[in-house]
Structure 1
Amino acid sequence: MKNNKKADKSKKGIAIFAGIAAVLLVVAVVIVFIGKDKGENVSQNGNQTETVSSSVTDLVIPKSEVTETAKFYPLKAGSTNMEILAVKASDGSVRTAFNTCQVCNGSPKAYYKQQGDVLVCQNCGNRFKMDMVEQQRGGCNPVPIMKDEKTEDGVNITIPKELIEKNKELFTSNWKTQ
């Protein structure tokens, strides 16, 4: 009789352990799915946007979709939200830049919106002509992605993932949150 009681206790212990393990497994699966990024990020700035995968890859911008209206490409490098802008200048060239202000960097409002033929910093209000995108470093303007930092063929402009990763520190954790 004592052996049966020991066997019953042992079976109950195993059952309780299995139940706890099952609950922990379910909790772990739920945490993984809740914490997992959905893989997309869409800009909320009112201008044209493009949905881009959240895992950092080369950004390929078809030249045919870039016009005089700035197009914004939201990206995510790790937990950092970023954005690249592309616009066609008056000379017909496609200009690119990281959509954050070099001077106001650190502010959640250090990004640009298009108003007419200018980009306006949402933090300080500086107005920046579209033709000046990618033309200078320093000052209150979008951080340029220069010709030697990207590749361009007749159809696409490719911004390498290494450049995107390298510049994620330009974007604060609270960028575009206010």
Structure 2
Amino acid sequence: MPLKPSDGAGAYVKDFRKSKAPQFKGKSNKKKQQMAIAAYLDDKDDQKESTMDSFKKHMMYDPKTGKGYKAEKEADHLRMKKKGYTHDDPKSKKVEESVLHEAQDQTTQRLKMLVNMGMMDKKDLQRMIRALDMVKEGKPVGKVERKILFTMLNELIGMITGDDQMFMKAKKVVKK
């Protein structure tokens, strides 16, 4: 049965480690894990491209006039975004609920992926989610949560700038 990104990175790692395929012969479990993560990320990117078609209609607002316009298709959304339109209704000062919920779900899902890949401790997951919620609500963040946020931010910056060795290894495997 082929792997799907929805199976999670852990499923890829498990499958690669137990595989008897010739490309894995003589490879260490660590190397197989790197290959699995690279394959997972590659499949995830492919899936992301294919889900671009699943655009949901939503409201966007002109921040200058406050007037709302419906983005019927992705092209409408992109056009309005270029003009500076946002999902925030300036009259009610609220973010469109579906957009907020979708972003929150996506963040939680990505944090769970980090746990599955072994890049984040499971015990930190709930603290991270709680800290992000506190930031979103404008509440003060506790010392432990602040440390977790800054650690994750630092790791993210490292990955983006290419300073993170794990990212570089995964990137090399994807290119092969």
TM-score (norm 2): 0.21
Structure richer in helix, relative to its length: 2
TM-score (norm 1): 0.21
Structure richer in strand, relative to its length: 1
